[in-house]
Amino acid sequence: MDIKDEVTPIMKSNSDHESEELDGVPKVPGCLSCRQVLALLGFLGFLNVYCLRVNLSVALVAMVNNTATHPHISNECPVSNTTKHDKVGEFQWDQRMQGIILGSFFYGYILTQVPGGYLGLRYSGKKMFGFGVLCTSVLTLVTPIAAKTSVWLLIAVRVLEGIGEGVTFPAMHALWGKWAPPLERSRLAAFTYAGAQLGTVVSLPISGLLCDSDFLGGWPSVFYVFGLFGCLWFVLWMALVYETPSDHPRISTEERNYIKRSIGNEKLMKDVPWCSIMTSTPVLAITLSHIANNWGFYTLLTCLPTYMKQILGFDLSENGFLSAIPYLMLWLVQITGGRTADFFIERKLLNTTSTRKLMNTLGMMLPAIFIVLTGYIGCNNVLAVLCLTLAVSTGGLNMSGFNINHLDIAPQYSGILMGITNMFATIPGFVGPLIVGELTNEQETRHQWQIVFYICAGVYVMGMTTFLFLGTGVQQPWANAVPQVVHHDNESESEDEVKVNSYVKYADDEEPLHTAVN
């Protein structure tokens, strides 16, 4: 199958596709390259980000006096360990208040999405990402004091944590817009953002153990441990990461030239075309898919520990480990999906548009199916955990669908696009827990959770359908032009002589419509 997609004409491939060259510059191996170091530290950064974000979901179970706040639990399923009893929490917050606490993070998170993308593009994605994580880490350290002082102070701290973390995804997208070669976008970004899922895997069981430990001080230790690790990561990030390939003092000449010739001069930027962005149909498609994905993801992320305890009957230490299983699988699916998507594109089995739509469809349809099935499993805990695992993990295919699509349609503005779409996709972060709180407050039954799961499935279907009809992998005409290196009469050019003043417009599944070279 021949691909006639938006891959730039400066990319040349041999007949067996074993190597890719860019104007005579061989493709640099990824092992130990500077972009791989960026991916690794970004991965660890998102691991910290999600440890800091989700630890409250488990800690809240230990913080709250469930005997006082859950008088109407149905007890449809027997508890898994009748010889062990959870500690009685010190706070009497009902389900409605718990929903407000869990959702408060996202009130702050929504505020810094677009500013994070814009400042990451205009100034420094490295600093925005680094200081965003540091801010959240410091605030996490003071969370126990805030909770014991006032529930409203706790909510205020969580809002401020959201403001700090709100810049992370847009800032990292802005960095990848300067560092990620087109044929490596899926795998590099998927690996980096997979840190978020591994952070959930790490945070949930460790939080459960820390909450259950008298020696370490119980639930307050959750916030001390993860807050400290976030501060330590910040030191490594600031010391080893650089804004662009040109700024990096240890990058090889081959890797720098490969990156610059594949994505162009990373410092080339014109005024942001805000009107075109806000009226773009492909941006709308990404936004709706982003909302759909986050609705299901955030609902399960913040409420899964409660469901596991109150409906399935797991004790607190089991809760953390079992809640982590879906996110371990999500991490694996996300990385595998990224490599699969790049394989389809690089081997020309599918064009970029078809690849993104395929991955996005699977990443929406499969979770919708499994999340509905979860509500009908009954008290078979093995099947319930299996369905929950499949509902969460198959959503990892979306990383190679809508989530990478920002880099396809406008690589120079990918950070801003991520900020815009993630801003709207943050709404489910506080609306979802509120809806769960309203539906299950004083009615902690499987039937009420079935309603929650049906709502998630319906939103998934909406995101899948709109992306199928409106999504594309083609770089948009309002985005920065794809640079093309021009050589003169077979003479070797120095880096300063490379011209980046031409561009190519592409139509999906067509040859280039126009090539202008000055």
Query: Quick one: CA torsion of 223, 225, 231, 232, rounded to 10 degrees?
Result: -170
Which range of 173-182, 344-353, 425-434 scores highest in mean pLDDT? It is: 344-353
Task: Supply the pTM of this predicted model.
Answer: 0.70
Residue 26: phi, psi to the nearest 5?
-65, 150
pLDDT number for residue 79: 58
Q: Tell me if residue 28 falls in helix, strand or coil.
A: coil
Assess if residue 5 is contained within a domain.
no
Check whether residue 421 and residue 513 sit in a common domain.
no
Q: Judge contact between 386 and 324, C-beta under 8 A.
A: no
Q: Which range, of 124-133, 176-185, 409-418, averages the lowest pLDDT?
A: 176-185
CA 455 – CA 162 distance, rounded (Å): 25
Assess if residue 486 is contained within a domain.
yes
Tokens representing 207 are 């939080």
Distance between start and end Cα atoms, the chain: 33
User: In b/e form, how buried is each residue of 219-229, taking b as 16+ CB within 10 angstroms?
Assistant: bbbbbbbbbeb
Higher pLDDT, 16 or 180: 180
CA 428 – CA 408 distance, rounded (Å): 25
Assess if residue 355 is contained within a domain.
yes
Tokens representing 291 are 């909302």
Assess if residue 212 is contained within a domain.
yes
pLDDT number for residue 480: 63
Higher pLDDT, 66 or 345: 345
Q: Percentage of residues in the chain with pLDDT exceeding 90?
A: 26
Check whether residue 494 and residue 399 sit in a common domain.
no
- Which residue, 298, 296, 405, 409, is CA-closest to 358? 405
- Which residue, 377, 277, 396, 384, is CA-closest to 327? 396
pLDDT number for residue 54: 80
pLDDT number for residue 75: 54
pLDDT number for residue 470: 94
Q: Which range, of 137-146, 168-177, 326-335, 380-389, averages the lowest pLDDT?
A: 380-389
Check whether residue 356 and residue 504 sit in a common domain.
no
Check whether residue 134 and residue 259 sit in a common domain.
yes
Strand partners, 26: 21
Identify the domain containing residue 454 by its residue range: 29-480
Q: Is a pLDDT exceeding 50 seen at residue 14?
A: no
Check whether residue 328 and residue 346 sit in a common domain.
yes
- Which residue, 105, 226, 117, 230, is CA-closest to 162? 105
Considering its fold, how many domains does the chain have in total?
2
Check whether residue 391 and residue 508 sit in a common domain.
no
Using alpha carbons only, how large is the chain's radius of gyration in Å?
Answer: 24
pLDDT number for residue 315: 59
DSSP state of 398: G
pLDDT number for residue 157: 94
3-state secondary structure 44-96: HHHHHHHHHHHHHHHHHHHHECHHHHCCCCCCCCCCCCCCCCCCCCCECCCHH
Check whether residue 394 and residue 489 sit in a common domain.
no
Assess if residue 12 is contained within a domain.
no
Check whether residue 66 and residue 214 sit in a common domain.
yes
Assign residue 376 a region: left if phi > 0, alpha if psi is -120 to 50, beta otherwise?
alpha
Q: Judge contact between 58 and 208, C-beta under 8 A.
A: yes
Q: Tell me if residue 514 falls in helix, strand or coil.
A: strand
Check whether residue 291 and residue 415 sit in a common domain.
yes
Higher pLDDT, 326 or 151: 151
Q: Tell me if residue 506 falls in helix, strand or coil.
A: coil
DSSP state of 122: I
Express each pLDDT in 474-506 by its tens digit.
Answer: 989 888 654 443 333 333 333 333 333 333 333
CA 222 – CA 31 distance, rounded (Å): 35
Q: Judge contact between 45 and 233, C-beta under 8 A.
A: yes
| pLDDT confidence band for 117 (50 / 70 / 90) | confident
Q: Judge contact between 461 and 120, C-beta under 8 A.
A: no
CA 24 – CA 467 distance, rounded (Å): 37
Express each pLDDT in 44-99 by its tens digit.
Answer: 999 998 888 888 877 887 888 765 555 555 556 665 544 444 556 678 887 778 87
Strand partners, 514: 505
Higher pLDDT, 421 or 121: 421
pLDDT number for residue 502: 32
Question: Is the four-CA dihedral 325, 328, 330, 332 of positive or negative sign?
Answer: negative
- Per DSSP, the residues of 156-182 read HHHHHHHHHHTTHHHHHHHHHHHH--G
Check whether residue 198 and residue 253 sit in a common domain.
yes
Q: Which range, of 55-69, 113-127, 395-409, 411-425, averages the lowest pLDDT?
A: 55-69
Which distant-in-sequence residues (6+ apart) come within 8 Å of 276 by Cβ? 476, 478
Q: What is the mean pLDDT of residues 350-365?
A: 93
pLDDT number for residue 281: 94
pLDDT number for residue 302: 67
At 76, which CATH number?
Answer: 1.20.1250.20
Assess if residue 436 is contained within a domain.
yes
**Distances 261 to 220, 352, 433, 486 between C-alpha atoms, Å:** 50, 20, 46, 11
Express each pLDDT in 243-273 by its tens digit.
Answer: 888 888 888 888 888 888 887 654 445 578 8
Check whether residue 116 and residue 241 sit in a common domain.
yes
Q: Which range, of 211-215, 222-226, 328-332, averages the lowest pLDDT?
A: 211-215
Q: What is the mean pLDDT of the chain?
A: 78
Q: Tell me if residue 387 falls in helix, strand or coil.
A: helix
Assess if residue 511 is contained within a domain.
yes
User: At 288, which helix (H) or strand (E)?
Assistant: helix 281-310
pLDDT number for residue 290: 94
Q: Is a pLDDT exceeding 90 seen at residue 440?
A: no
- Which residue, 130, 111, 113, is CA-closest to 49? 130
Q: What is the mean pLDDT of residues 162-167?
A: 90
Assess if residue 238 is contained within a domain.
yes
Q: Judge contact between 178 and 415, C-beta under 8 A.
A: no
CA 256 – CA 375 distance, rounded (Å): 52
pLDDT number for residue 430: 76
Q: How many CB atoms lie within 10 A of CB 309?
A: 23
CA 397 – CA 22 distance, rounded (Å): 29
pLDDT number for residue 424: 92
Check whether residue 200 and residue 294 sit in a common domain.
yes
Q: Percentage of residues in the chain with pLDDT exceeding 70?
A: 77
CA 357 – CA 21 distance, rounded (Å): 28
pLDDT number for residue 253: 87
Q: Is a pLDDT exceeding 70 seen at residue 516?
A: no
